[in-house]
Amino acid sequence: MNKFYIITNHTKNESDEMAGRIRDYLENRGKTCVYPEMSESGHIIPGTIPGDVDCAIVVGGDGTLIRAAGVLVFEGIPILGVNLGTLGYLTEVEVQHIEMAIDQLLDGDYMIEDRMMLYGNMQGEKREIALNDIVVSRSGSLRILCFNLYVNGEYLNTYYADGIIISTPTGSTAYNLSAGGPIIEPTASMILVTPICSHALNNRSIIFSADDEVVIELGRRRDDIAEEAVISFDGAELTAIMTGDRIVVKRAREKTRLVKLKKTSFLETLREKMKGN
């Protein structure tokens, strides 16, 4: 690897400081480093990523890495995450080990781990991609909403809940976990559906094949009042929908490519991250 794309969380001063430390270390090893061109809103400007980048180094927490993945996935660039956050399920390297990690990377002592992503298509007009999850939830009002679930064109169930999470295995340790959903090994291929605060005693998460098509329809409540909800992709890109609207969720062709340096298993990582939680 010779050319590196360094992405930071500009809301954290320590992120920029760490990025400078990484750049200096790489350039002292004869490597080239570039920073992304950012919009005023703090997003990478599409079409500005150099075509000859070998690896992206993302400095921040899991949220920073997820946002970067939404852009880098279309370039096929592998991502190495440097953790400045708290849990850091996705980030590979802790800051105190960064120089050692770079040496390992440059020596070729690493592997690339592919992570499944999801596409959400709203009314056939707008399509967005997500690494963690697609969430349909209430907007403003404290009233529970009605969600109809269809799988491969067949009606399955109706949920009265605050929302519905459609998650990848990678996202199973995110909002899905907070909502009581199961943890799934992150390199698996499947789609996980979890209701948020469901108004029932027997509603649990359901796991589907990665080849299934999952449709969430915002239905009418028993009082027949039209409702409004919002759809978010990895916690961003809020889009409003109304009663009767549907979002179609499928596995994306693209995959996020994560650089893995450690030989630790997912179970070991999970055990370490969940200490005291």
Give residue-wise pLDDT tens across range 128-138. Answer: 999 999 999 98
* pLDDT (average), residues 37-45: 81
pTM of the model as a whole: 0.89
What pLDDT is attached to residue 107? 93
DSSP 10: T
Per-residue pLDDT tens digits for 63-96? 889 999 999 999 999 999 998 866 667 888 888 8
**Cα–Cα distance measured from residue 163 to residue 263, given in angstroms and rounded to the nearest whole number:** 37
**Average confidence score pLDDT of the chain:** 89
Tens-place pLDDT, residues 214-266: 999 999 876 677 788 999 999 887 788 899 999 999 999 999 999 998 776 77
Q: What percentage of the chain carries pLDDT values higher than 90?
A: 62
Which residue segments constitute the domains of the chain, with CATH numbers given?
Answer: 3-110+261-273 (3.40.50.10330), 117-253 (2.60.200.30)
Residue 104, exposed/middle/buried by CB under 10 A (0-12, 13-18, 19+)? Answer: middle
223 is catalytic: no
For residue 124, is pLDDT > 70?
no
Catalytic residue among 16, 54, 62, 107: 62
Per-residue pLDDT tens over the stretch 166-207: 999 999 999 999 999 999 999 999 999 999 998 887 788 999
Q: What is the C-alpha to C-alpha distance for residues 246 and 150, in angstroms, rounded to an integer?
A: 10
Say which residues have a Cβ less than 8 Å from residue 75's Cβ, sequence separation at least 6: 49, 51, 53
